[in-house]
Amino acid sequence: MDENKNNKKDTEKTIKKKKTIRCSFCNKKCTLINYNCQCGGIFCQNHRLTHSHSCPCIEKKKIINKELLKKNNIQIIPEKVNKI
Q: Could you tell me the domains of the chain?
A: 18-72 (4.10.1110.10)
Residue 16 pLDDT greater than 80, yes or no: no
C-alpha distance from residue 29 to each of 17, 45, 48 (Å): 14, 11, 14
How much is the pTM? 0.53
Residue pLDDT, tens place only, 40-81: 889 998 888 888 888 888 888 889 999 999 999 888 787 887
